[in-house]
Amino acid sequence: MTPKFTVGGRIAKPVGEVFEAVANPDSLSEFFTTGGAKGRLETGAVVTWDFHDFPGAFPVHVVEVEKDKRIVLRWDGDKSAVPADADGTHRTLVTMTFEALDDGRTRVQIAEEGWLDTPEGIKASYGNCEGWTGMLAAMKAWLEHGINLREGFYK
């Protein structure tokens, strides 16, 4: 079975505010990219995300953005865990969806796929699943309460 996952949750903010928190690098840097984010998430862009817990900036390739609905990304994975694409790169596919709920909250889902069905691929997928779950919790705490959950969590 090919490793893949979907995580999700509800945030008590309007969909436009939740979407913007991810698409805007200044907002994303407040609760997720502890080393900073550079570049707005727009279709065709290549932005960088930096994390203090994983030193070095990661290139993030933005495949598609549909405002307040969906963000699709590809980012590099370990060669031992992710098969090579036609261009020789090793990237997984991340799809974030944003859904406005009738009560004014937003449902966010993050799915990622593209690992090899090997012990290395499974381990890498579990690590990313943990990371995206943490991102959702950190986004909820930041947007609803102004609390940065990641500060000091990894160092």
pLDDT value for 91: 93
Burial 82-98 (b: 16+ CB within 10 A, else e): bbeeeeeebbbebbbbb
pLDDT value for 9: 97
- Chain length of the chain: 155
Name the residue among 68, 60, 152, 66 with its Cα closest to residue 112.
60
pLDDT value for 100: 98
Question: Token digits for 24?
Answer: 């805007």
pLDDT value for 28: 96
Give the predicted TM-score (pTM) of the model: 0.94
Residue type at position 65: V
Domains of the chain: 4-145 (3.30.530.20)
> Angle 119-145/15-23 helices, nearest 10 degrees?
120
Mean pLDDT in consecutive groups of 10 residues from the start of the chain, 155 residues: 94 98 96 93 97 83 98 92 88 97 98 95 95 96 94 74
CA–CA gap between residue 32 and residue 54 (Å, rounded): 12
